């Protein structure tokens, strides 16, 4: 009987030890990471950002979640550039259209049937481009 109890306790501890990094990802309210952080990259990064053209060799990702309102923000930040041509072409190829109105100082892109809004910022001082996907579940 003690051996069975010990085996169950060991199994529970091993399961928690294995799943702990993923539980931390699930309950995190934000994350800032690079593509080399494989666990975070695979867990947080949506397909649209994974396949987005890399317009600069210097880029990083962000994830922000408001668990209460079920809103999430996924972003990619490119340093040292303001050229958004490849990103705009990519968004068009994915079925996104530039919106006439935007709640921020960005270009907003939307896709019919999707609740996601893609915001595209090109800033000059310092030069960088930010793409953010905002969604509400």
> Which three-class secondary structure string do you get for the chain?
CHHHHHHHHHHHHHHHHHHHHHHHHHHCCEEEECCCCHHHHHHHCCHHHHCCCCCCCCEEEEEEEECCCCEEEEEEEEECCCCCHHHHHHHHHCCCEECCCCCCCCEEEECCCCCCEEEEEEEECCEEEEEEEEEEC
Q: How many domains does the chain have?
A: 1
Query: Does residue 128 lie in a domain region?
Result: yes
Query: Does residue 17 lie in a domain region?
Result: no
Residue 85 belongs to what domain range? 30-136
Query: Does residue 5 lie in a domain region?
Result: no
Dump pLDDT digits (tens) for 9-55.
Answer: 777 776 666 666 666 677 788 899 999 999 999 999 999 999 999 99
Residue 4 binned pLDDT confidence (cut-offs 50, 70, 90)? confident
Dump pLDDT digits (tens) for 57-77.
Answer: 999 999 998 766 678 999 999
pLDDT value at residue 25: 73
pTM for the whole structure: 0.82
Query: Does residue 94 lie in a domain region?
Result: yes
Which residue would you say has higher pLDDT here, 64 or 105?
A: 64
pLDDT value at residue 21: 65
Query: Does residue 84 lie in a domain region?
Result: yes
């Amino acid at each position: 009987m003690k051996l069975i109890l010990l085996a169950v306790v060991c199994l529970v501890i091993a399961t928690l030890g294995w799943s702990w990094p993923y539980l931390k990802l699930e309950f995190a309210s934000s994350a800032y990471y690079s593509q080399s952080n494989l666990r975070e990259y695979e867990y947080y990064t949506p397909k649209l950002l994974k396949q987005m053209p890399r317009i600069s060799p210097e880029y990083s990702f962000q994830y922000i979640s408001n668990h209460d309102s079920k809103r999430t923000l996924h972003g990619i930040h490119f340093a040292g550039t303001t050229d958004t041509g490849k990103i705009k072409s990519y968004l068009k190829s994915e079925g996104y259209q530039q919106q006439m109105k935007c709640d921020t100082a960005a270009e907003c892109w939307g896709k019919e049937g999707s609740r996601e809004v893609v915001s595209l910022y090109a800033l000059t001082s310092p030069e960088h481009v930010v793409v953010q996907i905002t969604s509400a579940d």
